[in-house]
Amino acid sequence: MEFRGTYVALVTPFTRDNKVDAAKIRELVEFQIKNGTSGLVPCGTTGESPTLSWDEHKLVVKTVVEAARGRVQVIAGAGSNNTREAVDAALFARRVGADAVLVVSPYYNKPTQEGLFRHFKTVAQEGKMPVVIYNIQSRTGVNIETSTMVRLKSVPNIVAVKEASGSMNQISDVICRCGDKLDVLSGDDSMTLPLLAAGGQGVISVIANLLPKEMERLCADFFKGNLKAATARHQRLFALFQGMFYETNPIPIREAMNMTGWEIGHARLPLTPLASRYRKMLAVELAKIGLKVKRRA
């Protein structure tokens, strides 16, 4: 199984009474497919997996798979700091027809490198699903060292890695040492072009929630050898890439989508709505790329 191009780290829309909005999920899936996204990644950090109940998690994954109808790949979030829970999430994703699972490094309990190896190996073996490893030390408190990734690349069912270490040296090292077995995807929109240039395969994107066609074209231009066009698109979107981290993700992307008319609700506590000073800044950046802000910032 190959992972290449733009995958969207799908937001989870909420109704006004703070329930999962399944109808809006289906609408978002259609929007993504219509605009060329390679795949959908529900129930990741951008989808607010930490505040979804297990029943809500299952509802989101099942709704996305059903709405996609096999037209694009679905990589279902299955991360946990409890290995057994991650296995159960992978088994559920398999039952409902997802193509793969995204498994983040266990957070808070900070396992050793040996613990990380055993965790991902267990999920891959017992979950019986292709696994995309997610390395993001800023969220989990632990980095998957490249030496550990080298061990993991030979584990059956481990097929790709979402790299959000923030270090191009580490990302390049992973590509050089593991790219023969693992598809390496960027976990940061702003690192997409550098990662592609280093030999990576694509991105699991936050901004693609709002601009799927732009991110798809950035990758497509690069793969076609049109580096000038890919670079121009990267530069055009760079300030907005940065804007997605004015405050903790997914606060800014939810605000941007609401500001442009998507009405997906606000983040759940302990996350809060975007501060007013950042809303104003975000409105400016959205306007610069031609998006109409439908409510005052």
**DSSP letters along 98-139, please?**
-SEEEEEPPPSS---HHHHHHHHHHHHHHH-S-EEEEE-HHH
Let me know the angle formed at the C-alpha of 140 by 137 and 142, rounded to the nearest 5 degrees: 55
Compute the distance between CA of residue 221 and CA of residue 37 in angstroms, rounded to an integer.
Answer: 14
- Measured from the Cβ of residue 284, the count of other Cβ atoms closer than 10 Å reads 13
Compute the distance between CA of residue 226 and CA of residue 57 in angstroms, rounded to an integer.
Answer: 39
**H or E stretch covering 160:** strand 158-163
Q: Is 67 helix (H, G, I), strand (E, B) or coil?
A: helix
Give the active site residues.
134, 162
Single-letter residue type at 84 = R
